Amino acid sequence: MNDQLATLRAKRQQALEGGGPSRVEAQHAKGKLTARERLSILCDEASFQELGALATHHTTDFGMGEHRYPGDGIITGFGKIQGRRVAVYAQDFTVLGGSFSEVQSNKISRIQDLAIEAGIPLIGLNDSGGARVQEGVRSLAAYGEVFVRNVKASGVIPQISLIMGPCAGGAVYSPALTDVTIMVNGTANMFLTGPEIIRTVTGESVTVEELGGAWVHNATSGVAQVIADDEQHALSLTKSLLAYLPQNNTEDPPALEPYDPPERMDEALNDIIPADDHVPYDMRELLGLVFDHDSIFELHKEWAGNALVGFARLGGMSVGFIANQPTVISGCLDINASDKIARHITLCDQFNIPLITFVDCPGYLPGVEQEYNGVIRHGAKIIYAYCQATVPKISVVTRKAMGGSYVALSSKQMNNDVAFAWPSAQIAVMGAEGAARLLNRRAIEAAKDPVAEEARFVAEYKEMFYNPYQAADVGQIDEVIEPRETRPRLIRALEVLRTKVTQTIAKKHGLFPV
Ligand code: HXC
C-alpha cells in the first residue's frame, strides 16, 4: 500500500506542477497567474474538488509522446464561491500553451454535464492558444462537444467566461455562447484569425492587442461585457456578478437583507432634470440615487454608451436595469444600443431577474448608415426581447419617450407591468420641431411671419404632449410620481410582482431578429 500511495502522491504532485518551473516563471513574467493560483483565489478556501487531474492525451504524432502532462493543460472540478456551489474549469497555459485537445474537451464536457444536472453556475477561466495543432481534426471536433453543451446550458445555468490570456480561433465561440465575458486588460485577447493570417489575406498590419485586446472587445466590438484591471480584479468581479444571479433558471436570484431603507427618498432627484430640454443629465447619477447604495454592476460599460444596462439591488432584491444615457447622442437608440439592451433583457429574463427600465429617449437614431446597417432588424430585437420576457417589468419615463422609443422601451402594450412617469415626461409621436414641419409646413410658409407661426405651433404642441398627463389620462402611464418617490414606488411594485405568473404559448422557439 505504501508504494501505491507513493505513486498516487507522485502523480498528484506532477499534476500540481503544470508545465514545470520555467513555464510557470514565464507565465508570472507576463503578469499572469497560473491556473491553480487563479482557482485558489476564485473558490472559497479548501472548497475546490478536482476531477480528471490525471488525464493525459494519447497523441504520438509530432513527438507528442514526450509531452504528456497529467491534466493535459486544464483543471476542472467543483468549488464554492461565497458558500454557493459552482463548476469551474481553468486552462493551464504552462502546459502546451493551454491548447485545446480531445482530453480538454472531455474534461470540460464532463463538468458541463454535471453542472447542468446539478443546476449550478459554470465558470470558465480561458488561457489557451486554441485548437491543439498536433491533434488535427480531433481537436476541432472537440470544440463542438463544448459548444453543444454551452447551448444546452444556456438559459438553464449561469455561464461566466473569464479571458485571462489568449483565446484564439475556435476558442472564442465558447465564451461568445455564455452569459457574461470578463477580459483582463493588458493580457487577455480574443480573435478568430491572428495578425499573421490577417497580414497575408488583407494586408492589414495589427498587433494582437490592437486586434482583440480587452479594450477592443469592451469598447468597440461589444464581444465582452466587463473589463478588469488585472486578474485579481477579474476574479473579484466574478464573485460580485454571481451574487446577482440564481443558481439556475428554476430559482429566484439571491436577495440580501435590505441594507438601504426601502422608503428612502432622495430630494436631489427632484432637481436632476434640467429646465432646458436640450441640456443632458447623467443617468448614472440618477440610477445611483434610486438603487440600493453601491449596488450597481454595469455590463458593457464602455460600449454603446447611449444605453446603460446592468444589475442592481432594490430593497436587497436583485434587478436588471436598462436606461438611456442622455449625455451620449441624447440617449438615442442605435444599432449597438439595441443589441446591448436586447441581450440584457434576455439575460435577465432567463434567470428570473425583474427588469427596471428608465426611459429618456428621443427615438431611434436617424441616418443612412444606420438604415443600411440594419437598424430595423437590430431595433426589432428590443421589441422582441421585451415582449418575450415574462419577468416583472417596470418602467419610469423621466423625460423623453418619443415615437418608436416610447413603444419599444417597455410600453404598456408590450406587456409592461407598471409604468411610472415623472412630471418632466414628454410622451409624443415625435419632437415639436419635427411635428411643426410635418403638420404645419404650408401654414408656416404662408404666414406673414413664418418664424412666429412655427413658434406658435411648437408651443401649442409642447403644451399638449410635453407632459405625462395625456398618457396617464389614456392609461398608458399608471402613475405620475415625484422623482424622489421613485425608489419606494419601485420597491413596492416589485414586492407585488414577485409572484407574477404569465402563461405563454407552447412552441419550439420563435425567430429572434438577428
Ligand atoms: C499546440 C500550441 C498552440 C496550439 C501555443 N502552443 N498554441 N501548441 N497548438 N494551438 C504552444 C507553443 O508551441 C509553445 O510551445 C507554447 O504553447 C507556448 O506558446 P508560445 O507561442 O511560446 O507563447 P506566446 O509567445 O505567449 O504566444 C501565445 C500565442 C501563440 C499568441 C497564443 O502561441 C499563438 O499564436 N498560438 C496559435 C494561436 C492560433 O492561431 N490558434 C488558432 C488555432 S486554430 P513550446 O513547447 O514551444 O513552448 C483554431 C480553430 C478551431 O483554434 C476552430 C473550431 C471551431
Measured in Å, residue 397 CA sits from the centre of ligand 1 at 51
Predicted confidence at residue 393, as pLDDT, reads: 97
pLDDT tens track, the chain, 514 positions:
789 999 999 999 999 999 999 999 999 999 999 999 999 999 999 999 999 999 999 888 898 988 899 999 999 999 999 999 999 999 999 999 999 999 999 999 999 999 999 999 999 999 999 999 999 999 999 999 999 999 999 999 999 999 999 999 889 999 999 999 999 999 999 999 999 999 999 999 999 999 999 999 999 999 999 999 999 999 999 999 999 999 999 999 999 999 999 999 999 999 999 999 889 999 999 999 999 999 999 999 999 999 999 999 999 999 999 999 999 999 999 999 999 999 999 999 999 999 999 999 999 999 999 999 999 999 999 999 999 999 999 999 999 999 888 999 978 889 899 999 999 999 988 888 888 788 888 888 888 888 888 888 888 888 888 899 999 999 999 999 999 999 999 999 999 999 999 999 999 999 999 9
In sequence order, what are the residues at sequence separation of 6 or more whose Cβ sits closer than 8 angstroms to the Cβ of residue 83? 44
DSSP 313-370: EETTEEEEEEEE-TTTGGG-B-HHHHHHHHHHHHHHHHTT--EEEEEEE--BPP-HHH
Ligand 1 atom nearest residue 132's Cα:
9
User: How far, CA to CA in Å, does 147 sit from each of 171, 205, 364, 492?
Assistant: 10, 31, 35, 41
Looking at residue 66, its pLDDT comes to 87
Which residue has the least CA distance to atom 22 on ligand 1?
97
- Of ligand 1's atoms, which has the minimum distance to the CA of residue 194? 40
Q: Residue 197 Cα, ligand 1 centroid: separation in angstroms?
A: 14
Question: Which protein residues are within 6 Å of ligand 1, measured from CB?
Answer: 96-97, 99, 129-133, 140, 143, 166, 168-171, 194
Give distance in angstroms: CA of 222 to centre of ligand 1.
Answer: 25
Domains along the chain with CATH numbers: 2-242 (3.90.226.10), 267-425+467-497 (3.90.226.10), 429-466 (no CATH)
Residue 254 carries which DSSP code?
Answer: P
Over 393-434, what HEC string results?
EEEEEEEEEEHHHHHHCCCHHHCCCEEEECCCCEEECCCHHH
Whole-number Å distance between alpha carbons of 10 and 6: 6
| Proportion of the chain above pLDDT 70, given as a percent | 100
d(CA 60, CA 169): 23
β-pairing verdict for 226-228 and 297-299 = unpaired
Ligand 1 center to residue 100 CA distance, Å?
10
The pLDDT, as a whole number, for residue 297 is: 98
| Residue 509 exposed, middle or buried by CB count within 10 Å (0-12, 13-18, 19+) | exposed
Cell representation of residue 425 = 415626461
The kind and range of the H/E element at 310 are: strand 307-314
What ligand 1 atom has the least distance to the C-alpha of 97?
A: 17
What pLDDT, on the 0 to 100 scale, is given for residue 379?
Answer: 96
- Predicted TM-score (pTM) of this structure: 0.96
